[in-house]
Amino acid sequence: MARVTTPPIDPLLRDRRSPSVFDPTHTLDDSQLASLLEAARWSPSWGNTQPWRFLVGRRGDASHARIVAALSRGNRQWAPAASAILIGLRQVGAEPDDPKGGLRTYDYTAYDLGQSAAHLSVQAVSMGLAVHQFGGFDHDAIAAGFAVPPQWEVLSGIAVGRWLPSAERTTDSPDVDQANVEREERPRKRRPLDQLAFAERFGEPLRVGHGE
């Protein structure tokens, strides 16, 4: 019998993982893409300012090609096979046409972008899709290539598509890089809960059990 080592969590969160082998034949239709973005849209943000935007490329279109050209060498091995790649932007300065000078604080905009990405990720799992986020790409090339205004910072990438499980891979599966296959097979690890949640003072573990 399998040993239960962690407290139960919702299957949508339990089953989320960042695959490195995406199905290069899968495509995202408009309604799927709209649902993913809608999930991000309904995430909470500081003062409901929604200080994030996404640049979106679907495999085969010009935006996708521009994003792929900016990927780091490592990420270029797996991300292009995903059905879409989104680049997340966060606001870091006032809009020129905003008489009030923009948001009162930009301190939480990275948090807000991350949270919108988390919502998008869970929505993706609910749709049988997977997300792999990444930071390894040429941020300046994206900013220039997409004419991103200076009050917006290019921060993170989100590859979304259908995971290609090993049972479905054949020796002639396109774009399947062995290093990525091995990476997927490595055990996924997390810090135990007692290193993550404290009581009374920093470092004093909150005792709730589990978390191995």
The distance of closest approach from Cβ of residue 99 to ligand FMN in the complex, given in angstroms and rounded to an integer, is 34
In this structure, the number of other CB atoms found within 10 A of the CB of residue 189 comes to 5
| Amino acid, single-letter form, for residue 201 | R
* CA 31/CA 150 separation, integer angstroms: 31
The distance of closest approach from Cβ of residue 24 to ligand FMN in the complex, given in angstroms and rounded to an integer, is 17
Binding status of residue 18 toward ligand FMN by CB under 6 A = yes
The distance of closest approach from Cβ of residue 104 to ligand FMN in the complex, given in angstroms and rounded to an integer, is 25
* CA 211/CA 198 separation, integer angstroms: 13
Binding status of residue 175 toward ligand FMN by CB under 6 A = no
Token look-up 């292009």 returns: 80
When the beta carbons of 19 and 152 are compared against ligand FMN, the nearer one is 19
At 8, list the tokens: 């139960």
* CA 20/CA 82 separation, integer angstroms: 9
When the beta carbons of 103 and 159 are compared against ligand FMN, the nearer one is 159
32-91: which residues touch ligand FMN (CB under 6 A)? 75
Which residues contribute to the site for ligand FMN (CB under 6 A)? Answer: 17-18, 75, 133-136, 156, 188
